């Protein structure tokens, strides 16, 4: 008797994952690329238009603004979060009650980003906001709702989001610090190195992997930013605080009738930027 050939076990083990990833990730991914090449009327394809959706989208003011805002987000958010996180991780090494402080700071990462957005709107509010109370007490400025003004909306969001994400960088750096063997410090101390020298020449170089993780994750986050903006400002006033992911949502699911071709172009733009930044950072490592 010859045993009938049947697919090996690993095939059955893989199958459910492959089906789900195929249906909900691979197929839609390819579909989105195709969508960007057609002219859409509502949910029906009218005609193949090649790259004209791309030209249309990149020519728009609100998209260019959104792109600039995403870049501003990266330029401000990434260095601030990284430096603050590192500073806190170093600072909290020898503090009594540091685990509670770390937990409190990380808490902002645990709550839904939607609540993060609400909290940002809340602390910058004209009536109930603590920012106005503090600045007013010093006598600096007239109270205002910072997230509602064209000049300050975007920056309020970015600084608020730094508040939300510093816990992440701090945690990654704290884990990185723990992994450094104590002997390194002891050897340096015996050689008579000062504290600042130890941090500069031993700690920081050994934290390079942690830094790369922090920077990459922050960039990916800044490129995809949506929840906070949607809840706190909805991109307003006008398009003063809009970002790419929000513009994509508005094109596809908010405007009536939707413009799926344009939305697909924005989605692809976000995806490509994500890819480029990830590859760029990986290259920097090597």
- Residue list 31-90, contact with another protein (CB under 8 A): 31-32, 35, 43, 88
What is residue 48's three-state secondary structure?
strand
Task: Report the residue from 130, 180, 204, 285 that binds another protein according to the rule CB under 8 A.
Answer: 130
Rank residues 207 and 267 by Cβ distance to another protein and give the closer one: 267
Task: Report the residue from 119, 157, 222, 229 that binds another protein according to the rule CB under 8 A.
Answer: 119
Q: What is the nearest approach in angstroms of another protein to the Cβ of residue 77?
A: 16
Could you tell me the sign of the dihedral formed by the alpha carbons of 159, 163, 165, 170, in that order? positive
- What separation in angstroms does the CA of 160 have from each of 57, 118, 119, 134, 147? 29, 10, 8, 16, 10
Rank residues 202 and 217 by Cβ distance to another protein and give the closer one: 217
> Under the criterion CB under 8 A, does residue 215 sit at the interface with another protein?
no
Please give the torsion angle defined by the CA atoms of residues 186, 190, 194 and 197, in that order, rounded to the nearest 10 degrees: -60
> Under the criterion CB under 8 A, does residue 267 sit at the interface with another protein?
yes
Under DSSP, the state recorded for 89 is H
> Under the criterion CB under 8 A, does residue 268 sit at the interface with another protein?
yes
Structure token pair of residue 88? 């806190």
Q: What is the nearest approach in angstroms of another protein to the Cβ of residue 269?
A: 9
Structure token pair of residue 117? 């957005």
Residue of 26, 28, 23, 52 lying closest to 40 (CA atoms): 52
77 contacts 165 by C-beta, under 8 angstroms? yes
Instruction: Please work out the total of residues on this chain that contact another protein, with binding judged by CB under 8 A.
Output: 82
Phi, psi of 175, deg, nearest 5: -65, -40
Q: What is the nearest approach in angstroms of another protein to the Cβ of residue 232?
A: 10
Task: Report the residue from 118, 177, 188, 206 that binds another protein according to the rule CB under 8 A.
Answer: 118
Question: Which stretch, 45-53, 56-64, 74-82, 164-172, contacts another protein (CB under 8 A)?
Answer: 164-172
Rank residues 215 and 240 by Cβ distance to another protein and give the closer one: 215
> Under the criterion CB under 8 A, does residue 180 sit at the interface with another protein?
no
Cα separation, 112 vs 97, in Å, equals 26
Angle between helices 61-91 and 260-285 (to 10 degrees): 40
Task: Report the residue from 3, 4, 13, 286 that binds another protein according to the rule CB under 8 A.
Answer: 13
Rank residues 98 and 152 by Cβ distance to another protein and give the closer one: 98
């Amino acid at each position: 008797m010859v045993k009938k050939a049947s697919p090996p076990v690993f095939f059955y083990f893989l199958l459910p994952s492959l089906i789900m990833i195929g249906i909900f990730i691979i197929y839609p991914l390819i579909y989105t690329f195709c969508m960007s090449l057609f002219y859409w009327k509502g949910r029906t394809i009218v005609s193949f238009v090649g790259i004209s959706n791309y030209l249309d989208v990149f020519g728009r003011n609100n998209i260019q603004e959104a792109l600039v805002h995403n870049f501003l987000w990266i330029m401000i958010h990434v260095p601030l979060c990284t430096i603050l996180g590192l500073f806190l991780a170093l600072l909290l090494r020898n503090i009594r009650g540091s685990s509670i402080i770390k937990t409190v700071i990380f808490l902002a990462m645990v709550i839904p980003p939607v609540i993060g957005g609400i909290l940002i709107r809340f602390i910058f509010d004209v009536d109930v906001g603590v920012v106005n109370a503090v600045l007013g007490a010093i006598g600096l400025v007239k109270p205002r709702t910072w997230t509602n003004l064209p000049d300050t909306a975007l920056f309020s969001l970015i600084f608020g989001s730094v508040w939300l994400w510093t816990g992440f960088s701090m945690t990654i750096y704290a884990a990185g610090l723990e992994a450094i063997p104590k002997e390194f410090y002891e050897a340096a101390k015996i050689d008579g190195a000062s504290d600042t020298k130890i941090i500069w020449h031993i700690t920081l170089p050994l934290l390079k992997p942690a830094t790369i993780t922090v920077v990459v994750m922050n960039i990916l986050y800044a490129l995809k930013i949506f929840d906070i903006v949607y809840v706190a400002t909805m991109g307003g006033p006008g398009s003063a605080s809009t970002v790419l992911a929000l513009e994509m949502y508005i094109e596809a699911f908010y405007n009536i009738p939707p413009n799926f071709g344009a939305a697909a172009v924005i989605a692809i733009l976000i995806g490509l930027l994500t890819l480029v930044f990830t590859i760029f950072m990986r290259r920097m490592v090597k």
